[in-house]
Amino acid sequence: MTNEAIVDLRSDTVTRPSAGMYEAMMAAPLGDDVYGEDESVNRLEKTAAHILGKQAGLFLSSATQANLAAMLAHNARGEEILLGNCYHIFVSEAGGTSALGGIIMHPLATDTAGGLALEQVLAAIKEDDPHHPITRTLALENTVSGRVQDPAQHRQLAEAVREQGLSVHLDGARLMNASVALAIPAAEIVEPFDSVMMCLSKGLGAPVGAVLCGSDEFIGRARRLRKMLGGGMRQAGVLAACGLYALRHNIERLAEDHDHARALGAGLAEIDGLPVSHETNMVFIEPQAKDLEPLRQHLLQHRVEIGHQCPRVRLVTHLDIDSASIDRAITAFQSYYR
């Protein structure tokens, strides 16, 4: 048992490059990206923009940096964005939008699916009053903790706030999971948005990076902001090649992750006293408080690793998890609750 590879269910960020991805890195044409001369970066940016139906793209070091650049490009200091109270920009990006951009974040309560209602969004837009910040942007997310958002609802929100003069951004860290789950092209899902961020280092399996897409004018502003944020990279094509490989080979296979998560959820649901739910490539369990740490240690002894969330623990499937890994994980859980 000790020689078996660990079944790592902590996140889809833990994936390692495949042999094909390593080969793509080795063969990547390189240049100085700050001068705009890295052919691989340029190709990645154009490819991502084409996939998302936008004019231009910008390669950044991470989804967090891409979201921050987008917020800075859409908003001036002292202006306000509306977003969900559980969205990544608000809860998991160290408050960078406010700390570095001087931008006010107004969190709104999401529904059980992670969505926002049209009425609450419109009610949150501030009147033209010097006592209030100017509401400038609505930031949405898809997926939200694995939950696919309704494209029709997003379109309704985007069209309504745009009539009020707001821009609309999509944090699409796992956008391709939504696209595969819905069987709808990503470009159709993001068509109503002024900007969209797509992460490459989660389910798509690249080791680093995200692409921010939007209009030529928007990406021009974001490119300057990337430099300001310390994100000017030189021979970045070795990383961009991973992103290109991911976009060519790892989108459709996300369906396998969803199938594996469904199988994992079904197996764990047979355990008495363990609440389980499933969303795309994520399974959520809620062990009793007394079981949290003993369960983690037991699973580690069986070469299965889970996260440290509390009380609701997220299990995430990814390209390094196969059906045998799912069977091993279910067996390890069952042996604890036996």
- Which residues on adjacent β-strands are paired with residue 141? 171
Q: How confident is the model at residue 242 (pLDDT cuts 50, 70, 90)?
A: very high
The amino acid present at 220, given as its one-letter code, is G
pLDDT digits (tens, 9 = 90+) for 223-237: 999 999 999 999 999
On whether residue 10 sits in a domain, the answer given is no
- What are the distances in angstroms from CA 47 to CA 211, 214, 242? 10, 13, 13
| Domain's final residue, options 195, 218, 249 | 249
State the average pLDDT over residues 267-295.
Answer: 96
**Domain range enclosing 329:** 253-337
CA R_g for the chain: 21
pLDDT digits (tens, 9 = 90+) for 75-95: 999 999 999 999 999 999 999
On whether residue 77 sits in a domain, the answer given is yes
| Domain's final residue, options 224, 249, 274 | 249
On whether residue 325 sits in a domain, the answer given is yes
Predicted TM-score of the model (pTM)? 0.96
**DSSP at 28:** -
Please provide the size of the chain in residues.
Answer: 338
Question: Are the CB atoms for 32 and 39 separated by under 8 Å?
Answer: no
Question: Are the CB atoms for 285 and 296 separated by under 8 Å?
Answer: no
